[in-house]
Amino acid sequence: MTKTKLAKAIALTITGVALTAGSVSSASASSTTMYNLFHSQGTVPCAPCSAGETDGWVWGGVADSTPSGTDTIDLATGAGWLGTAAQDKTPLGYKGGGVLHWAVQLNGGGTAQISNADSIARYGVSADIDIAKGGWSDNISGNTGVAGGWRHDVDFGLFKSDIAGLVTLSALAVNGTSPTTTPNIGFTIFKGMDISTASYLHHGAWNSTNNASGLTSASLPGGGTNFSGLASGTTAVKNAAAIANIVAYSVGGASTSNLNDISFTAEAGQIYTIALGGYRAGGWVDTLDGYKLNVGQVSAVPVPGAVWLFGSAMAGFLGLRRSKKFAA
């Protein structure tokens, strides 16, 4: 390739990147929200769900939630999904053993809201969308000895977009009951899905450090879940891989951050797991808060300034060399 062609190639590449970075169109944007209809009373559909239900069981409930290895569930167990291809199909091909409350898929950018109101508006059926006031971290240490969360009262959802870019999540508690304090909401977001194959141990503490000193094994939900992406390996290896798969998280303690609002960069076609719960507005047993989770339109990630400078400098340098050659 001549220097002239190389300069043109670089210029075209820079232009292409610029167009890609700024051309997320919303003309054909759409969203699909999906809801788990599992209800502790075993009714399908759940209309309406009892206040305080936070189970999210997928494969049959408390007695046996062992996955079958496929994405097909037995409706006779009291499970079922709204918004999926069929009521007996899990969203986005989920096969893990953990609980799952909802899923959202964006196409062409778009926006979405996860809430009971959205479920009623789209499908005419109530969904069990609620969290504990202290599910991500409580304000009473009696249950664990330290201020931490309780995984039974954390909601888990899946997210997928067909284009890459920055995703914003904004959560708001609604329908608060006693205690009346509206909680802040904490997040832990994983790249990938739970791939555990055993029944989920839903009653147990997690998040004892609130990520105040960075990510540790305490940042993982536990209960048999596996967010490592590894089907085999020691616990230490899986934990390290799962921690590496945390793409965004809230921080509690003396210096809080990413409560209620959080962003992360999504890869096109990649599935992410979003865990969320109340932050220190009550105990982990206070499970009567619904919530609205607004999922912002995927926006392109700006090209770093260094890329522009490098590309411009290279194009200019090669153009200068070409001019000198002709002058000679």
Q: How many whole angstroms separate alpha carbon 13 and alpha carbon 197?
A: 45
Q: Is this model's pTM higher than 0.85 or not?
A: no
**pLDDT at residue 14, as a whole number:** 41
Q: How many whole angstroms separate alpha carbon 157 and alpha carbon 138?
A: 21
Instruction: List CB contacts of 327: < 8 A, sequence separation 6 or more.
Output: none
- Give, as one character, the DSSP assignment of residue 28: T
Domain ranges of the chain: 1-23+303-328, 29-299
Per-residue pLDDT of the chain (328 residues; tens, 9 = 90+): 444 444 444 444 444 433 333 334 455 789 999 999 876 444 444 444 444 455 788 887 666 678 888 999 877 776 789 999 898 999 999 999 999 999 999 999 889 999 989 999 999 888 888 888 888 998 765 444 567 888 888 999 999 999 999 999 999 888 655 444 567 899 999 999 999 998 888 888 899 899 999 999 999 999 999 999 999 999 999 999 999 999 999 999 889 999 999 999 999 999 999 999 988 877 666 655 789 999 998 876 555 554 444 445 444 544 444 444 444 4
**pLDDT at residue 326, as a whole number:** 41
Q: What is the 3-state secondary structure (H, E, C) of 29-62?
A: CEEEEEEECCCCCCCCCCCCCCCCCCCCCCCCCC
**pLDDT at residue 176, as a whole number:** 54
Q: In the chain, what is the straight-line distance between the N-terminal and C-terminal CA atoms, in Å? A: 21
Q: How many whole angstroms separate alpha carbon 58 and alpha carbon 93?
A: 12
**pLDDT at residue 196, as a whole number:** 94
Tokens 């069990």 sit at which residue?
128
**pLDDT at residue 53, as a whole number:** 52
